[in-house]
Amino acid sequence: MPILVTGATGNVGRHLVGQLAAAGHRVRALTRDPDAAAFPDGVEAVGGDLADPSSLKAAFDGATAVHLLSSHQPANEPPGAGEVALAHAGELLAMAEQAGVRRVSVLWTGAQGPVEEAAKQSGLEWTIVQPGNFMANARLWAEDVRTEGVVREPFAQVAHYVVHEADIAAVAAAALTGEGHAGKEYTLVGPEGLTVPQQVAILSQAVGREIRYEELTEEQAEDRMRELGMGDEDIDFIVGWNADQANEDRLAAEAADIAAITGRPPRAFAQWAAEHADAFR
C-alpha cells in the first residue's frame, strides 16, 4: 500500500519521496502538474491541489500513511507572496481516515495551525515535524552571488541552527514508517549555530571563490521583501524570527535528536553548500 507525499516537489517533499522509494516503499507523489514533475522510478505521480479537497480522492485512495503540509502557495500567486494556512483541514484528515490512512506526518511552517489541530483531533497516528530555518533558504542568495559575489542580509550577530531539508525528510520518513513516533512533536535544528557571515564563509569555500557579506539594516531588509511581493504580516514574522537569538537558542534546547530518530547524524551546512555549490557559480 502506498505512502502519499504532498508537496512532493518541494524542498522537503522531494527528499522524502526519494528516501521512501530508496527504502523500498511504494510512494505516491502529489503535485499540481504530474506531467512536469520528475520522480524516481516506481513513484506514482498524481495530480491534485491541497486547497481543493475534492481533487484529492484518488490521491488518498488506498494510502496507508500521508505526509501533509500545513500551508500552501496559492495558485497564480507571484513568488514571494507567502504561503497561507490550508483551509478545510478537518475535511482533509477525515478523507484520509475514510481512505484507510493510519499515520500522518505534518510539516509546519512556524506556528501551530488548523492542519496540526485537525491531525491531533483525528483518529490517526500523528507526528508534527517542526523545523527551524532551512539550509535551503540560502538558495535565495544565489543570483546575487553569481552576479555580484555578495550576500546581503540583516542581523549579522544572530546564530541560526539551520537544518538540512534531507534531515527533515528523514524524520518524516521515520514517523511514517516506524514505531514510537505517534503523538510526538519534533523540533528540528541543525548540528551547529552559524551566523550569516559564517554561512557565507562556508559557502565561499564550497564555491571556490570569495563571497562578500554586506549587512542590511532591518528597514532595508523589509523594503526588499516588499519588493518581492510579501505582505506586512509575513515580513513581520520573518524579521522577528531571524532577529531573535533567544528563539534560536530555545529551538536548539528543545530540539529532537535527529540521530536517534533517523539512525544517522544531522548533516552540516558545509555538506549542503558542497551539494549546491553549482547554483552559486
Q: What is the pLDDT of residues 201-214, one digit of tens each?
A: 999 999 999 999 99
Cα diameter, the chain = 55
What pLDDT does residue 238 have? 86
* Residue 85 binned pLDDT confidence (cut-offs 50, 70, 90): low
Say how many domains are in the chain: 2
What's phi and psi for 189, nearest 5 deg?
A: -135, 165
For residues 64-70, average pLDDT: 93
Q: 272 and 136, same structural domain?
A: yes
Q: 155 and 73, same structural domain?
A: no
Query: 139 is in which domain, residue-wise?
Result: 132-164+188-281
Coil, strand or helix: which one is 85?
strand
Position 155: which residue type?
Answer: F
What pLDDT does residue 84 have? 53
For residues 78-105, average pLDDT: 78
Q: 203 and 149, same structural domain?
A: yes
**From CA 252, how far away is CA 125, in angstroms rounded?**
26
* Residue 52 binned pLDDT confidence (cut-offs 50, 70, 90): confident
What pLDDT does residue 89 have? 83
C-alpha cell belonging to residue 76 = 497564480
For residues 37-50, average pLDDT: 93
Sign of the torsion angle spanned by Cα atoms 255, 237, 175, 263: negative
Beta bridge partners of 187: 130
How would you classify the pairing of strands 84-85 and 71-72? antiparallel
Domain final residue, candidates 110, 131, 152: 131
For the full predicted model, state whether its pTM sits above 0.75. Answer: yes
The 10 Å Cβ neighbour count of residue 201 is 15
Q: Is residue 177 part of a domain?
A: no
Q: Is residue 182 part of a domain?
A: no
Q: Is residue 72 part of a domain?
A: yes
Query: ∠ at Cα 178 (100, 125), nearest 5°?
Result: 45
CA end-to-end span of the chain: 42
What separation in angstroms does the CA of 60 have from each of 11, 70, 102, 264? 22, 17, 11, 31
Domain final residue, candidates 116, 131, 146: 131
Q: Is residue 178 part of a domain?
A: no
Q: 104 and 75, same structural domain?
A: yes
Q: 156 and 192, same structural domain?
A: yes
User: How remote is the C-alpha of 11 from its chain's centroid?
Assistant: 6
Q: Is residue 180 part of a domain?
A: no
Q: 256 and 195, same structural domain?
A: yes
Q: 25 and 52, same structural domain?
A: yes
Residue 52 belongs to a domain with what CATH number?
A: 3.40.50.720
Q: 84 and 43, same structural domain?
A: yes
Q: Is residue 28 part of a domain?
A: yes
* Residue 80 binned pLDDT confidence (cut-offs 50, 70, 90): very low
What pLDDT does residue 49 have? 87
Give 207: exposed, middle or buried? Use CB within 10 Å, 0-12, 13-18, 19+: buried
**From CA 251, how far away is CA 187, in angstroms rounded?**
7
Q: Is residue 173 part of a domain?
A: no
Q: 65 and 160, same structural domain?
A: no
Coil, strand or helix: which one is 74?
coil
Q: Is residue 175 part of a domain?
A: no
Q: 110 and 27, same structural domain?
A: yes
Computed over every residue of the chain, the mean pLDDT equals 92
* Residue 88 binned pLDDT confidence (cut-offs 50, 70, 90): confident
Q: 118 and 35, same structural domain?
A: yes
* Residue 125 binned pLDDT confidence (cut-offs 50, 70, 90): very high
Domain final residue, candidates 87, 110, 131: 131
Q: 74 and 14, same structural domain?
A: yes
The 10 Å Cβ neighbour count of residue 143 is 11
* Per-residue pLDDT at 111 exceeds 80: no
